[in-house]
Structure 1
Amino acid sequence: MNPHIELLLSETWSQIESLYLKEKKRIDAFKSYHSLQAGLRDYLKVGYRKGTASYKQGSFFVEIEEPFSWSDSAYTWESEVSIDELSSNLLKEEYAPALQQRLYTLFMSDEYGSHFFDYRFELWFEFENEQSEQLYIHNEQWINTSKLTTLQQALDHFIKDKVTSDLPVLPKEKDLFFFAKLMLNKDIIPTDVERVSSLFDQLDLKLFNFRSLYSDWQSTSTMALRFWANEIFLPTYFDAESEYNTTLHLKSAESLPMVDEKELALFIYAALRIGKQDAEQRKTYLEYAVQLHSEQAQRYLRQGSGTIESERKTDLFHGKANDILQLIQIKLTAEDEPHYREALTYICDLLRADFPREYVLKFSSKQKNFLPIKGLAKSALHRFFANALQYKELHPLIAEYGELALQEFAWYNDVEAGEKSVMPGTYAILGLGLYSTDYSPLLIRYMKLVDTEHQSAQDHYPAALVEAHGMDASFVPTLMSVLLASSESAKPLKGWGDILEKDELILAWDTQLQSLEDYQRDQVLYLLCGNSAKQKAFMQKAERLRSSTHS
């Protein structure tokens, strides 16, 4: 063996061994390992990289994990070997085979523990000379079939035990990441969109009543699908404009592989599921699918699924709907009660046909009304309902819409996901609550469904309610439901001090407070009174009034 190659091999292995021993110590410290994870280390790159400055000499390096495009995780060392002493042929014929053999033997063994290596390992050689010219580039991937089989069996067992099983058996939060990731790994299971969608839907239904787990599952499954789409599917058929411009262009005819129809079907499913949280991403993915000649994606973009009334036109309005894009478009020929009635009727009919509640509305109007509630997004959807609420004759129909639209753990797509996102039905129901106390039962139902961890629009609603109706003892239960639905960021209500001096109101609030859990009582007292001294004074008054009433 060439002496320079022999010395470089010794140096390289010394670097790898040192890094792996540190990793082994870290991995051995884990208290437990997840059955859906075969191991951690799955990548290694060795090579020589020219310095960024022309006057700076390059260095040999090792990477033990794949870096992000914007980062450099390489470990470098000062070598006794000069890159000028190595040829492409020496690297290919002597260095690479020797290192491959030693690494492969290590990968297939349990020398560093059974969970050190994953079932798959990717090895890269990337050498350039001092003129930044390519010297030797090669990569290969290995699979430990024994570990792969064990992982497949673990996934099958997990599906039977935690996904398709009956309640009360539930997956744990940490299970969700590994499950979603493996379901999209064609090493583990062949690409099968029907199986993926079926199991994902089953888990949706199973976790729906468990708020925290359901929320984690939605974000985890979306993240896994987005990663698969961006890092695995799209790079197969598209090239990025540049390292800093990620706009994708279809590969040239010579380099474009034949489209895998099963993977394309999974990509379209990913677009639809991701679209529940990111409508713009869904549209972009479907447009990419069209470039790959997907007739289904083209149909989705043009007319939706075909299962709903995609268009309705009368003398009073023109409505269009696309359930895949979750988009409704409304044009009124005039702005009055009959025109808004026809538009509302169309939207209600769509919801009865299972049109997605998390839609976005395209609507223009001369009237620019909005509800007097601080913090609500001034979107077209908000404006549509604020305009329609002016007509008292429409209130029963708007209430019907509210009943149809209500959906827990869902948000309109009228704004970018964030602090202004609101549950379907919000603008209609909050508006009705301001116009009439007749809709208090609907308002109370809405407040019971609000996800207080992800929505805060209701925090400013109590002030608007009292401004609209004042406060009397009969209205306290409604106000109580609103306060109980406040988010953690809600602040104490201003200007209620004088109102709460009335004995009748103090007793009404006290009666409601007695039925609450301790944490709920603390929450409401804070919002009603503010600091602990004011809370204490209020409760003392309530206790005196309660005692005098019973005596």
Structure 2
Amino acid sequence: MSTLYDQAMEEMIKTIHEWFDEQEKRDDLESVVKRTTLQMGIFNDIVLDYRPGRTTVDSLDLGLDDGLKSKQAGAFTEEQLRNEIGPKLVEVVQGRLDNLADTPLIDYRFTFRGKFPTTEGKMQLTLLEYINEEKRQLLLERIYSYVDKKLENGTYPTKRLESFFLTSHLLDPKLLPELDVAWTIRQYDRIQALNQGRPDALAEHRGEITRAVTAWAENQFLPQYFDVQSSAYRTNEYSLKTGATLQLNIDTQTGQHSDEHVKQQKSGSQPIDLLLYAAVMILRFEPSYSKPKGVTFLELAKQLGSRRAERMMTEGSGTYAKDDIHVKTEELECKANDVFALMTIHIRKEESCAYQQALTFIIHLLKQGFPKGYKIKLKSAVKQYLPIKGLAKSDTHRFFANALEYPELHPLLEEYAREAIQEFEFYEDTEGEKSCMPGSYATFGLGLVDEQYFPLVEYYMGEVDDEHQLIQDKFIAAFVEKQGVTAQSIPALVASLRRSTDSLKLKIQPTLENNEILELLVRQIQELEHYEAERVLYPIFGKVEKLTTLARKAQGRRKELLLQLLQAAGK
């Protein structure tokens, strides 16, 4: 063999041994796997990335270079890698596994993969798939025991770490070759039911379930029927394979579904039902930016002939009672589709009663888990908007502006806002600089009309994702113009300025010439961290140097107050 071949083999083998040697030095192996009975070992996968002189082995493959063409061709052919290099590397890894397979370091299964530059381009190979049958059987026993004791017959909340492992185990074809869809979905639903009383924990468990079913859909189910390409934006693009269809949806020669097919479809026992389950989990509980994936899953299921998917796209996921998603009275008609996070509202009579019914309809659905980042399609003879420049002139905006015209509905609008406000969520019909959190229009409108809603403004601003929302600046400017700077408005103003951007400039220094008002501002700002205080002061005074100059020129009590502002900002 050539010297180049020998050097490459030496480098790869040395790197493999170094990785295993480093892991064997760990002194926490036992403690890690003792956290839960559902973890058999720490590592189940390593990737060798051969780059001459820079070869690595890692258990984490982010796939950042997947799909990229190698700038430099490799020295070996694909045939050499498969027939000569690969087997020798497998021999090295297998030798290490023989000594470590029964330790907590290695899971019940272990995959060894490699990435190599070849004369034909970059190549990725799965070189070894190892299964420790003894560990596998023990893990299965533990899974069934856990499901029996903690889920099906349990009454207490479960641990997130347990859900982290269980949700994936139930969809692992190496562990459970025969997927029982109905049983699996039942366990996922049971996890949610047991944790229902702890909202934060419930969200974490749902996140684990969604992660597991999404991975199953993308890596196991969909590739059976679709050719998958990763786009430049790292999203999957799917093309239906020729002749691909679901057996369940093929009509019999008489044009009817067989009784068995109908029975299976109703029982939710088909893999397509798990794809739809994944879609609903994403659409109902994931942030707004994830929802397109849920819609994609539904569209793909529809392409495969799923009639249920087709119904879900027109009528919703089926999660809610028909009376909850469709209300029709003399004053209005409301419909809701959680799949597209859409509420359609037709105001037949422009009066308080109609908007009261519509708000009650929306609040009721939000309390049941309807996506907060929804949008409204409004049919109304009135086109009212909030007196705030820069907001999206959407139907959602118009609906709440119309409702705000009725003072008797203001308490109900506050109830809506407090139910809708959710960090990292955005109305479906806003984007870019006009993106805004659910509850924005109601909060802004109420904050402009009555000081009794200033606490609502403070609550709202505490939830604003100021990295992805800018329209709070527009509200702050309108708020100051309408409500002024007073003892009543200052707490809400300071809370708002904590979420402002560097683009905001307020012309309120003349008002702060009044030492009583300035002192109230100082008291509010002194309660903040230095960086928060500086952020609040910037829209008012500009850079700290300008405030320093003002303090130097001031006299008496005003000088003391300005110096206290500087001190609050850590200057």
Q: Is TM-score (shorter-chain normalized) higher than 0.5? A: yes
Correspondences of 1:92-491 after superposition (within 5 Å):
101-110=87-96, 119-121=110-112, 142-145=129-132, 149=136, 185-187=172-174, 192-196=184-188, 208=200, 226-239=214-227, 248-253=238-243, 261=269, 263-275=271-283, 276-277=286-287, 278-292=290-304, 294=306, 296-304=308-316, 305=318, 306-307=320-321, 309-333=324-348, 335=350, 337-365=352-380, 367-416=382-431, 420-484=434-498, 486=499, 489-491=501-503
Partners of 2:269 and 2:8 in 1: CA distance: 44
* 1:329–1:361 contact (8 Å) kept in structure 2: yes
Question: Residue deviations 1:157-198, cap 9 Å, x none?
Answer: xx99xxx9x99x987xxx999998777544356763444565
| Identity over aligned pairs, percent | 29
Partners of 1:476 and 1:128 in 2: CA distance: 69
Aligned to 2:489, what secondary structure does the other structure show? Answer: helix
Partners of 1:457 and 1:109 in 2: CA distance: 61
* 1:506–1:542 contact (8 Å) kept in structure 2: no
Q: Which residue of 2 aligns with 1:58?
A: none
Deviation at 1:294, TM superposition (A): 4.5
After superposition, the Cα gap between the structure-2 partners of 1:225 and 1:13, relative to the gap in structure 1 and judged at 3 Å, is farther
Stretch moving more, 526-535 or 14-23: 14-23
After superposition, the Cα gap between the structure-2 partners of 1:98 and 1:288, relative to the gap in structure 1 and judged at 3 Å, is same
* 1:279–1:413 contact (8 Å) kept in structure 2: no
Partners of 2:330 and 2:340 in 1: CA distance: 26
Residue 93 of structure 2 aligns with an amino acid whose one-letter code is: F
* 1:271–1:286 contact (8 Å) kept in structure 2: yes
* 1:239–1:251 contact (8 Å) kept in structure 2: yes
| Residue 512, structure 1, aligned to residue 512, structure 2 | no
Partners of 1:352 and 1:96 in 2: CA distance: 57
Residue 120 of structure 1 aligns with an amino acid whose one-letter code is: T
Partners of 2:304 and 2:194 in 1: CA distance: 30
* 2:75–2:119 contact (8 Å) kept in structure 1: no
After superposition, the Cα gap between the structure-2 partners of 1:474 and 1:113, relative to the gap in structure 1 and judged at 3 Å, is farther
Residue 503 of structure 1 aligns with an amino acid whose one-letter code is: N
* 1:493–1:528 contact (8 Å) kept in structure 2: yes
* 1:238–1:251 contact (8 Å) kept in structure 2: yes
Q: Which residue of 2 aligns with 1:497?
A: 509
Deviation at 1:534, TM superposition (A): 3.7
Aligned to 1:110, what secondary structure does the other structure show? Answer: helix
Structure 1: gaps of 5 or more residues: 1-6, 46-62, 84-90
Partners of 1:243 and 1:526 in 2: CA distance: 42
After superposition, the Cα gap between the structure-2 partners of 1:328 and 1:255, relative to the gap in structure 1 and judged at 3 Å, is closer
Partners of 1:393 and 1:207 in 2: CA distance: 32
Question: Residue deviations 1:500-536, cap 9 Å, x none?
Answer: 1112211221232344444443332334322213434
Partners of 1:506 and 1:124 in 2: CA distance: 65
Aligned to 2:96, what secondary structure does the other structure show? Answer: coil
Correspondences of 1:529-548 after superposition (within 5 Å):
529-536=541-548, 544=557
TM-score, normalised via structure 2 length: 0.66
Please report the RMSD computed on the Cα atoms of aligned residues, expressed in angstroms: 5.4
Question: Residue deviations 1:278-325, cap 9 Å, x none?
Answer: 333322212322444555534433333242522122333221112344
Question: Residue deviations 1:334-369, cap 9 Å, x none?
Answer: 655454344334323433554332322222456544
Q: Count how many residue pairs are aligned between Structure 1 and Structure 2.
A: 492
* 2:280–2:294 contact (8 Å) kept in structure 1: yes
* 2:331–2:354 contact (8 Å) kept in structure 1: yes
Q: Which residue of 2 aligns with 1:70?
A: 67
Residue 233 of structure 1 aligns with an amino acid whose one-letter code is: F
Residue 277 of structure 2 aligns with an amino acid whose one-letter code is: Y
* 1:348–1:401 contact (8 Å) kept in structure 2: yes
* 1:361–1:381 contact (8 Å) kept in structure 2: yes
* 1:42–1:121 contact (8 Å) kept in structure 2: yes
Deviation at 1:112, TM superposition (A): 12
Stretch moving more, 12-21 or 296-305: 12-21
After superposition, the Cα gap between the structure-2 partners of 1:29 and 1:106, relative to the gap in structure 1 and judged at 3 Å, is closer
* 1:24–1:112 contact (8 Å) kept in structure 2: no
* 2:515–2:557 contact (8 Å) kept in structure 1: no
Partners of 1:221 and 1:453 in 2: CA distance: 28
TM-score, normalised via structure 1 length: 0.68
Residue 43 of structure 2 aligns with an amino acid whose one-letter code is: A
* 1:119–1:147 contact (8 Å) kept in structure 2: no
Aligned to 2:373, what secondary structure does the other structure show? Answer: coil
Structure 2: gaps of 5 or more residues: 34-40, 51-56, 148-153, 250-267, 562-571
Partners of 2:513 and 2:438 in 1: CA distance: 37
Deviation at 1:395, TM superposition (A): 2.7
Deviation at 1:120, TM superposition (A): 1.8
* 2:448–2:483 contact (8 Å) kept in structure 1: yes
Stretch moving more, 392-401 or 473-482: 392-401
Residue 398 of structure 2 aligns with an amino acid whose one-letter code is: R
Q: Which residue of 1 aligns with 2:537?
A: 525
* 1:367–1:387 contact (8 Å) kept in structure 2: yes
After superposition, the Cα gap between the structure-2 partners of 1:430 and 1:221, relative to the gap in structure 1 and judged at 3 Å, is farther
After superposition, the Cα gap between the structure-2 partners of 1:263 and 1:147, relative to the gap in structure 1 and judged at 3 Å, is farther
After superposition, the Cα gap between the structure-2 partners of 1:512 and 1:26, relative to the gap in structure 1 and judged at 3 Å, is same
Aligned to 1:424, what secondary structure does the other structure show? Answer: coil
Stretch moving more, 495-504 or 539-548: 539-548
